[in-house]
Amino acid sequence: MHLTLGEIFLRIFVGFLLSGIIGLEREGINRPAGLRTHILVGTGSTLIMITGIYLAQNYPDTDAARLGAQVVSGIGFLGAGTIIKEGVSVRGLTTAASLWATAGIGLACGAGFLLPAVFTTAIVMFSLVFFQKINRLLVNRRHEIRLNILCTNHPGQIGAIGTYLGNENVQIKQISIHDEQVESLRLKMVLRLPITATPVDIIEGLKTVDGIKEIDS
């Protein structure tokens, strides 16, 4: 059964609409990939899937899913462009994931899988909006502390401190390093603690790291 123009236009329109909904949320919080990018990804994915179906209908030896499969692999390059590393933090992973999900929704629309595409869009929006609020609530409950650490200036010393903090799920927000005395370093750090840890726990734990001479908070 060949697709009619009405079916083709409906699928493209639904792909445009659903991808635009996701794009609006990203645009609203000033992410690198916003409304236009998501619409282009979703609508383009829809058309590519429709083209694959059209080719399979007119050329029996053609695999309808082959073009769509290239979208899944190719979207990774676009998503990588939204990921930004700032110091020890990485931003843009959620936007990259939303682009990937938008491509999948577009492929579903192109295949005529409209109701699952609508349901998936609702789940994506719920995840982006609702879980963002939960994440902010959890972040606000986390402690941030400033520490001045005097330690030995030996190879691997800073790495040992970083390893301990990483094992405790402590995020290093800022760090500066100064030569303090002979064979000594002064580290000034801003740390974000997990909900389960207290400043006293982290400070006492750091004192057990070899080479730590003094810790002031």
| Domains recognised in the chain with CATH numbers | 5-139 (no CATH), 144-216 (3.30.70.260)
Q: Which residues contact 145 (CB under 8 A, 6 or more apart)?
A: 190, 191, 193, 199, 202, 217
33, 113 in Cβ contact below 8 A?
no
> What secondary structure, in 3-state letters, does 16-48 show?
HHHHHHHHHHHHHCCCCCCHHHHHHHHHHHHHH
81-95 as b/e: b if 16+ CB within 10 A: ebeeeeeeeeebebb
Whether 84 has a pLDDT exceeding 70, the answer reads: no
Cβ 206 vs Cβ 149: under 8 Å: yes
Q: Please give the pLDDT value at position 63.
A: 81
Least confident of 21-25, 86-90, 93-97, 105-109: 86-90
Report pLDDT for 141.
Answer: 55
Residue linked to tokens 């301990």: 164
Calculate the average pLDDT of the chain.
Answer: 86
Q: Roughly how many angstroms between the first and final C-alpha of the chain, as a whole number? A: 72
Handedness of CA 205, 208, 211, 215 (dihedral sign): positive
Query: pLDDT over 90 for what percent of the chain?
Result: 31
Residue whose entry in the numeric block shows the structure tokens 């843009």 = 92
Mean pLDDT confidence for 120-131:
91
CA gap 184, 169 in Å, rounded: 26
Give the pLDDT band (50/70/90) at residue 85. low
Is residue 1 predicted with pLDDT exceeding 70? no
Mean pLDDT to the nearest integer, 25-29: 85
Query: DSSP assignment of 71-111, as one string?
Result: HHHHHHHHHHTT-EEETTEEE-HHHHHHHHHHHHHHHHHHT
